Amino acid sequence: MIPTIPMEMLRIIIFTVAIILFVSVNALLLVWLERKLAGHFQVRPGPFEVGPHGLLQTVCDGLKLMGKQLVAPAGADKRLFWAAPILAFAPAFLCFLPIPFGPHLLGMDFETGVILILAFTSLGVLATILAGWGSNNKFSLLGASRAVSQAVAYEVPLLITVLGVVMYSGSLDFTSIIGQQGSWPWQWNVMLQPLGFLIFFVCSLAECNRAPFDLPEAESELTAGFHTEYSGMGFGLFFFAEYTNMVITSSMCTALFLGGWHGPFFSGWWWFASKVYFLIFVMMWMRWTFPRVRFDQLLNLSWKWLIPLALINLFYVAVLVKL
């Protein structure tokens, strides 16, 4: 007799398959959106030839990347070199597990979902370091060393602002954090902690290596930074990971500060999705507006401004909780 499959496991398997599907389609769509927006920000149409309004352009690009030969440089540490793109991509799936997209639409109800996401998003930096070290390339190594100091600098204020929200709601569980926020914008955490929201958003930009904080790849200085030596899907996985990380940090921002699935009139996953994609749109908007910061500016911003401000925010939240 076949033993019955536990419901919880079935749920996780279905969710994982759904997430793989979502992540792939989402990455294709976001790359298209990024290029389209880049075009329109520069008063030109962007991709237009393949499919209606260039919608199938990224599908073709993906096929091209898959068809390419995977080349590792002669002096590279092969094991580290190929472990890096997988390590960049794999934790992204895990991070989707505790995020509640709707009242009942979540993979697994973790008591400590916030910690899980924070722990696994920091694995992305490890992948960057491995890629930079394993490539045996000056540009890659420079990109990786930048990534390390950037990650160290920006994870501190990020954690402090998250701590502010966690202190206020008294829970590490996304479902209950969202549950405590109401339907209308003035009932969201962003109204109570606007400073925390801003710091979190800036830090999530830096954590995703998005412009204006894209120093680890910095095309104009380091050719492509840590992924200079990657060809084909090796590069493709890094690219996928970048866009998936954007969704994860935006989802976190939505859950912690913008009331998650709550919204005026009809609460549901559509509110969650529209908030996430609005944040991603703002990220793209910033990318095509602001020039890349210099490295000392990047570190000054974090250590001299964001961390003190995050501590002030934490103190303010502590007073708020006490009242």
Partner 1 sequence: MTFFEEIRQAFKGIYSLLVGLNITGKALVTKVETVHYPRQTVDNIDTYHGHIELIPTDTTPHFTKCIACGTCAHNCPAQCITVTKAELPPEIGEDGKPQKPKKAKYPELFKLDYNHCSLCGQCVENCPVSALRFSTDVYLAGFSREDFEYDLLARAKQNIEDKE
Q: Give the footprint of partner 1 on this chain (CB under 8 A).
A: 37, 39-45, 48, 285-286, 288-290, 305
For the packed helices 194-207 and 138-169, what is the interaxial angle rounded to 10 degrees? 150
Choose between 37 and 65: whose C-beta lies nearer to partner 1. Answer: 37
Going by C-alpha positions, the residue among 69, 174, 185 that lies closest to residue 113 is 174
Choose between 126 and 312: whose C-beta lies nearer to partner 1. Answer: 312
Kindly state the smallest distance separating residue 153's Cβ from partner 1, in Å. 18
Residue 246: both structure tokens together: 């954007």
- Phi then psi for residue 155, to 5 deg, are -75, -25
Contacts of 210 (CB under 8 A, 6+ apart): 242, 246, 283, 286, 287
**Cis omega (within 30 of 0) on the bond before 291?**
no
Choose between 44 and 322: whose C-beta lies nearer to partner 1. Answer: 44
Contacts of 283 (CB under 8 A, 6+ apart): 205, 208, 210, 246, 250
Q: How far is CA 299 from the centre of its chain?
A: 20
Choose between 270 and 278: whose C-beta lies nearer to partner 1. Answer: 278
- Distance (Å, whole) CA 31 – CA 61: 10
Kindly state the smallest distance separating residue 282's Cβ from partner 1, in Å. 9
> Residue 148 CB: number of other CB atoms within 10 A?
15
Going by C-alpha positions, the residue among 282, 215, 270 that lies closest to residue 246 is 282
Residue 41: both structure tokens together: 């920000």
Choose between 178 and 301: whose C-beta lies nearer to partner 1. Answer: 301
Choose between 9 and 43: whose C-beta lies nearer to partner 1. Answer: 43
- The DSSP letter of residue 42 is T
> Residue 10 CB: number of other CB atoms within 10 A?
11
Choose between 43 and 319: whose C-beta lies nearer to partner 1. Answer: 43
